[in-house]
Amino acid sequence: MSKKRWLALLAVTVLFILSSVFNFSATTTTTTSNWEELFKTDDQKWVERTLREGDRKEKIVVLDVNGVIQDQEDTSVLFSSVGYRHRTFLSMLEHAAEDPDVEGIIIRVNSPGGGVVESAEIYDKIRSIQEEYFKKVYVSMGSMAASGGYYIAAPADKIFANTSTITGSLGVIMQSYNVAELAEKLGIEEQTIKSGEFKDIMSPTRGMTEEERAILQSIIDDAYDEFVHVIVEGRELSEEKVRSIADGRIYSGSQAKQLDLIDEIGSYEETVDALIEDLGLGNLQVIRYETSVGINDLLQLSAQKLTMNQGDLLGLQQLLRQTNSPTLMYLYTK
């Protein structure tokens, strides 16, 4: 092993020991206020950043759903990828629900959708906030709030969109590739040992049988029925109307307004103004949650930088996240 690698290994070991000592100390001693300001502990998840000043302690929280809605959470705050972080978002929703000073929540959606399960988890959390905590939830659509992006908007008390917002794409999709002919030309032969006839369903190296297609279509139909139910309940529309417009096509914000898929044409700022007015509590402050940084994150960052460069790390993260398994999605694909 080279001298450089030995030094890197030694540095990582030292950082690991320091991290362990800190964690032990945190459970046996009380930190000073100055230390708490410098390094946030685990129970201080969120830092509040004021977006608009108010004259009361009550507040409105703005949360963002940016990117594909998938559960691909990073363990490190500092090394988390840019975009949507599912577990973080759900935790923020829960925190806003439990905070007695939070009177309302605005979810800013800019997403083509994502996983069926993840979308359902957000939907359930929003319904819980409305039914258990009696808090209003408004949605402000950005440039795109399609498929799963609309699914999570459907239960909102009010939905706002720009005239040019791309929304709709109401439906379910599951995709894979058939590369059988290419594999044959390249002399690639797949060797599969399976326990049942359908264990390799949607294999990319062979065509799909009619029986396999029927199995997958039944799953798609179940997820689609759930999507329709969510829109019927959230938008108070008839099932017949929802099924007629939920054929996968996209709509502009103006078209969505005509179809009663949204409530108002308006910007993010107008959504904030509308929620404040509807709450009728005066000039409320508007805040956003930001992730606090703990000493463990700093130590982890230092260790990762010593062992590999950032380009290598991002490439490794992307590789580890890739999967060949077909996934059920509420997703708008171009």
CATH assignment of the domain containing 210: 3.90.226.10
pLDDT over threshold 90, residue 76: no
Domain that holds residue 187: 31-331
User: What does the pLDDT look like over 277-322, one tens digit per residue?
Assistant: 999 999 999 999 987 655 555 555 555 454 444 544 444 444 444 4
**Hey, CA dihedral for 291, 99, 112, 139, is it positive or negative?**
negative
pLDDT on residue 279: 97
Most confident of 33-47, 48-62, 71-85, 291-305: 48-62
pLDDT on residue 180: 86
Per the domain annotation, does 276 fall within a domain?
A: yes
Interacting residues of 188 by C-beta distance below 8 A, sequence separation 6+ = 205
Answer yes or no: are the C-beta atoms of 332 and 144 closer than 8 Å: yes
Q: What are the backbone angles phi and psi of residue 87, rounded to the nearest 5°? A: -65, -35
Which band of pLDDT confidence, cut at 50, 70 and 90, is reported for residue 189?
confident
**Tally of domains within the chain:** 1
What mean pLDDT value characterizes the chain? 83
Per the domain annotation, does 1 fall within a domain?
A: no
CA atoms in the 13 A half-sphere facing the CB of 71: 13
Which band of pLDDT confidence, cut at 50, 70 and 90, is reported for residue 178?
confident
Per the domain annotation, does 18 fall within a domain?
A: no
Per the domain annotation, does 3 fall within a domain?
A: no
**Hey, CA dihedral for 109, 115, 116, 122, is it positive or negative?**
negative
Per the domain annotation, does 221 fall within a domain?
A: yes
Average of per-residue pLDDT across 76-87: 66
Which band of pLDDT confidence, cut at 50, 70 and 90, is reported for residue 36?
very low
199 is catalytic: yes
Active-site residue (options: 119, 140, 147, 203): 147
Block residue for tokens 């594999």: 183
Which residues of 34-186 form beta strands (DSSP E)?
46-52, 59-66, 102-111, 113-115, 136-146, 158-161, 166-168
Residue 211 buriedness (CB in 10 A; 0-12 / 13-18 / 19+): exposed
User: What does the pLDDT look like over 201-243, one tens digit per residue?
Assistant: 988 889 999 999 999 999 999 999 999 999 999 999 999 999 9
pLDDT over threshold 90, residue 275: yes
DSSP sequence for 148-199 = HHHHTTTTSSEEEE-TT-EEE--S-B------HHHHHHTT-------SSTTT
Block residue for tokens 């279509």: 217
Per the domain annotation, does 6 fall within a domain?
A: no
CA atoms in the 13 A half-sphere facing the CB of 269: 1
- Cα 94 → chain centroid: 14
Residue type, 256: A
Answer yes or no: are the C-beta atoms of 88 and 76 closer than 8 Å: no
User: What does the pLDDT look like over 128-156, one tens digit per residue?
Assistant: 999 999 999 999 999 999 999 999 999 99
Full-model pTM: 0.79
User: What does the pLDDT look like over 241-254, one tens digit per residue?
Assistant: 999 999 999 999 99
Per the domain annotation, does 17 fall within a domain?
A: no
Give the tokens for residue 79: 């090394």
pLDDT on residue 52: 95
147 is catalytic: yes
Active-site residue (options: 20, 25, 143, 199): 199
Interacting residues of 280 by C-beta distance below 8 A, sequence separation 6+ = none
Per the domain annotation, does 226 fall within a domain?
A: yes
